Amino acid sequence: MKIAVIDDYQDAFRTLRCYPKLAGHEVLIYNDTEKDLARLAERLKEAEAVILTQARSPFPRVLIERLPRLRLISQTGRSTGHIDIDACTEHGVVVSAAGFATPHPTAELTWGLILAALRHIPYEVQRLREGHWQSTLGVCVKGKTLGIYAFGRIGSLVANAGRTFGARVLCWGRERSLGRARAAGYEVAASRSAFFAESDILSLHLPLNRETRGITSSSIWPFASRPVRPVSSRTSSRLSQSRRDIGCRGSIVLLLQSMR
């Protein structure tokens, strides 16, 4: 069987314990990404099975229709919102999605990026390599308001770290999410607009789909008199700073404050 693995940026697939089970099959692993559907179809035209890495690339109908040999799509993780399931069913393509990922790596990277932005770490590292020493003043987390949109497995970890750093943690999301936040002892905003208005650091933990695309645009931009710095903790995240659309996969962090 010809098997294609796409978007394996870190070349991690071949290190998995299950990889030897594919011995005897022709396996092609792509460490780059291809977002042009025509070129992606050309790349996968001989594949009988495709393994998708998380939700890094969409698999719409127009792509599925150009892969006549395809019989199986295996998805790392349970999310299938980026796959046209109806098109797969019509073309006899089985979709397999399962697994249980730990939320800790994403939460840790979220905080790594927050601190890197507040403390200008990438800039200062580059300056140090050039022979300079400490040219900026950082911003302290303590006393700032950390907004958590969607208090789930990842959001709760980010909130816990924020509380440890001395931030005021403010939550928003669906009613179920707000119930979890209240039960954990966190403050819930009076309204959605108040949530965005009061947050200095905003961490969104939402998948990119039809329901969430643009979910923040109408709420954030009225407060854009404060500088907005977007930070993504997932390389597959899609973030547009356009006033029309902000959407993401994984976590998005927006720093709604002056970085000076």
| pLDDT recorded at residue 249 | 36
User: Mind listing the pLDDT tens digit for each residue in 213-255?
Assistant: 666 665 555 554 455 555 545 433 333 443 333 333 344 555 5
Helical pair 121-129 and 104-118, crossing angle rounded to 10 deg: 60
pLDDT of residue 125 exceeding 90, the answer is yes
- State the Cα–Cα distance between residues 73 and 59, nearest whole angstrom: 10
Phi-psi region of 42 (alpha: psi -120 to 50; beta: other; left: phi over 0): alpha
- State the Cα–Cα distance between residues 186 and 52, nearest whole angstrom: 36
- Which residues make Cβ contacts (< 8 Å) with residue 255, sequence separation at least 6? 114, 117, 118, 200, 201, 202, 227, 228, 229, 231
With vertex at residue 22, the alpha carbon angle to CA 21 and CA 23, rounded to the nearest 5 degrees, is 90
220, 254 contact by CB (below 8 A): yes
- State the Cα–Cα distance between residues 136 and 81, nearest whole angstrom: 42
Q: What is the pTM of this model?
A: 0.76
User: Mind listing the pLDDT tens digit for each residue in 85-108?
Assistant: 999 999 999 999 877 778 898 899
Helical pair 153-164 and 104-118, crossing angle rounded to 10 deg: 40
180, 156 contact by CB (below 8 A): yes
Domain architecture of the chain: domains with CATH: 2-98 (3.40.50.720), 104-256 (3.40.50.720)
| pLDDT recorded at residue 220 | 56
- State the Cα–Cα distance between residues 238 and 56, nearest whole angstrom: 10
- Tokens representing 105? 């790596």
